[in-house]
Structure 1
Amino acid sequence: MKLASLADGRDGKLVVVSRDLKQAAAVPKIAGTLQQAMDDWDEKASRLNEVYELLNRGEWPDAFGLEPEQCGAPLPRAFQWLDGSAYVNHVELVRKARGAEMPENFWTDPLMYQGVSDNLLGPCDDVHVASEDWGIDFEAEVVVLTDDVPMGVSPEQAASHIKLLTLVNDVSLRNLIPAELGKGFGFLQSKPASAFAPVVVTPDELGDAWQDNKVHLPLRVELNNELFGQPNCGVDMTFDFARLISHAAMTRHLGAGTLLGSGTISNTDRSSGSCCLAEQRMLEIIEAGEAQTPFLRFGDHVRIEMLDAKGKSVFGAIDQRICQYEADA
């Protein structure tokens, strides 16, 4: 099943989306928003899936054409957005470039932070940043959405709480990160609003590409209409999504609609490129002693998309520009 939220009000308007992403159906009698559907997922999902089947057969009477520009983030404001760092080779690379050893427990204990979730960006929304000097970067990731997760859940139990998946551009301001981490209190200013793909899908939509709580497909990133990277999300993922959920829920319950990201997709085989500028810059530092790839500039165009084995878009694309933010007078 595929779902999206039209950009309508603060919480969007839930629609069921056809498998080819071309048609949609509003379902106000089932749930007005995705959050309402997540709050009662076991009951709502079966009813939404009935609409989905009719829509794919061309039998839903009020279907309408869907364009990405109509969509906001699937959850325009979410109760919780957590982002892990499941590709530990990426963390190791970044630390190596600055001459820092990586603690051994990074391979066994996931990194995770809690990000801004009250105003999430849609797939075609511009990314507004006040200064290029802050080191603007994209981070292409996979995200899962959960139902209610009890505190202390094991990884084996956590797998059943993965209800939907999508993509995210977890925007980072790299030049602000060192000072924030140096305070020993985590990210804040260096992590502005993230942007999400237009469509969320149930795991079964991925077919054989969903195995071991991982997505075994490449994630394609284009910068200014040129391929930047397409590493495989199922390769070198040290912590699968069930492990990440269990980590997050160790001391707290996770409410329905919790968004949990994988962290930047990264493969040890660098031939497929990278999913963020920082990784490319680190490789250049290691090889040549200095970074040559610049961070994003105003006017740059970023596109993030996942294609299935038949070349069809799974979630639709994040397709956005970097723009200068100017506060109202």
Structure 2
Amino acid sequence: METLPSLAGPFALGTFSAGDQAPFPGLIAGDRVLDLRTVPALGQPPRTTRDLLERWDDVLPLLAGAAAADAGEWRPLAGLRVHAPVEPRQVLQSGANYRTHVIDLAVAHEPEGGRPAEQVRAETAAMMDRRAAGDQPYVFTGLPSAITGPYDDVVLPSWCTKPDWELELAAVIGRPAFRVGRDTALAHVAAYTIANDLTARELVFRRDMPEIGTDWLRAKNAPTFTPLGPYLVPAGFVADPGSLRVTLRLNGQVMQDESTKDMIFDVARLVSYASQTVRLLPGDVLLTGSPAGNGLHWGRLLRPGDVMEGAITGLGVQRNRCAGEAA
């Protein structure tokens, strides 16, 4: 498991359990975890990290004090299971938000005998420029039931023929946000974490109903298709979410390695845009899109036994083994 030296800031939050006991919200500092249910300064004992996010402005300074004190019950990280760090009510996902990634996917999806690759690249690049100029991100909804832990197995469904990875920076909401402007949007982000937004590539487009377009329900929401975590790193510890390295290794080989600078729309713009329609709530998770280097680009999709290792600067590392669905 990943420990704190790879994390930005002096502490982070997560969800942990020991043996068959119920999961609890914890503060991780170094190689120890503080059971936040045992910290009197927090008042009503939190049952989940979402309880903390509900009163984030009041809780954050108390967490900083708890991290520096010996009060409460501390446990060794090595003896604990690490779960997804939060259970969101809503998951929002940004599609087509990395310039190089979108161009690569357009080339990969071009039918055999279709337009030349260079023509597809040029036309897609022009489309991306128009989107950026028009200030219109593409955001859709995901399902919380697809979330799994940062070290749990990812189950590849028997029906899925083209399972692919998409490592992403995820913003976690603290203050509720509804119709907020870009200039104030980041004030509503409590923390950042890592998400891997797995996709069944063969189901992205509805071949039977091309006029409908994409089918994100089937393509992205199978159980375990969204590994999340390991931890919630407070936003104040992340100097610039627009300059983080996103790296995914498959069986030790680097497949994705890109900066969030390649995003077309930054975190502030995505939060603001989503909030124009949706009332964002504490604990909600907003995925910001995936950089280039997906399996479709490499011609190498996921198989049982594969191990994905995803890292983002200052946010730790998640490792997930792919398992075939049991008969």
Question: TM-score, length-normalised on structure 1?
Answer: 0.80
Q: Secondary structure at the match of 2:84?
A: coil
Alignment counterpart, residue 179 of structure 1, candidates 162, 187, 206 = 206
CA shift for structure 1 position 148: 3.5
For 1:84, the equivalent position in structure 2 comes to 94
Alignment counterpart, residue 152 of structure 2, candidates 107, 117, 125 = 125
Matches within 5 A, 1:34-113: 34-54=49-69, 59-60=70-71, 62-67=73-78, 70-75=81-86, 77-85=87-95, 86-97=97-108, 98=110, 99=115, 101-102=123-124, 103=127, 105-107=130-132, 108-113=135-140
8 Å Cα contact 2:206-2:213 kept in structure 1? no
Where does structure 1 lack aligned partners over 5 or more consecutive residues?
Answer: 267-273, 282-292, 308-313
Matches within 5 A, 1:210-229: 210-211=239-240, 214-229=241-256
CA shift for structure 1 position 84: 0.8
In the alignment, structure 1 residue 23 sits paired with structure 2 residue 23: no
Give distance in 2, aligned partners of 1:304 and 1:132: 25
For 2:227, the equivalent position in structure 1 comes to 195
For 1:205, the equivalent position in structure 2 comes to 237
Distance 1:150-1:64 versus aligned 2 partners, 3 A rule: closer
In the alignment, structure 1 residue 263 sits paired with structure 2 residue 289: yes
RMSD of aligned residue pairs (Cα, Å): 2.5
Distance 1:246-1:72 versus aligned 2 partners, 3 A rule: same
Q: Secondary structure at the match of 1:92?
A: helix
Give distance in 2, aligned partners of 1:61 and 1:163: 23
8 Å Cα contact 1:68-1:198 kept in structure 2? no
Question: TM-score, length-normalised on structure 2?
Answer: 0.80
For 1:247, the equivalent position in structure 2 comes to 273
Deviations along 1:58-105, one digit per CA (max 9) or x if unpaired, are: x35632211496111011x31011111331332233224415644454
Give distance in 2, aligned partners of 1:262 and 1:185: 18
If each structure's strand is expressed as a fraction of its own residues, which one has the higher value?
2
CA shift for structure 1 position 132: 7.1
For 1:154, the equivalent position in structure 2 comes to 181
Give distance in 2, aligned partners of 1:111 and 1:137: 20
CA shift for structure 1 position 10: 11
8 Å Cα contact 1:78-1:118 kept in structure 2? no
Distance 1:61-1:254 versus aligned 2 partners, 3 A rule: closer
Deviations along 1:295-314, one digit per CA (max 9) or x if unpaired, are: 1111111111234xxxxxx3
CA shift for structure 1 position 200: 1.0
Distance 1:84-1:41 versus aligned 2 partners, 3 A rule: same
CA shift for structure 1 position 204: 2.7
**How many residues end up aligned between the 2 structures?**
288
8 Å Cα contact 1:148-1:161 kept in structure 2? yes
Question: Which 4+ residue blocks in structure 1 deviate beyond 6 angstroms?
Answer: 8-11
8 Å Cα contact 1:2-1:52 kept in structure 2? no
8 Å Cα contact 1:132-1:297 kept in structure 2? no
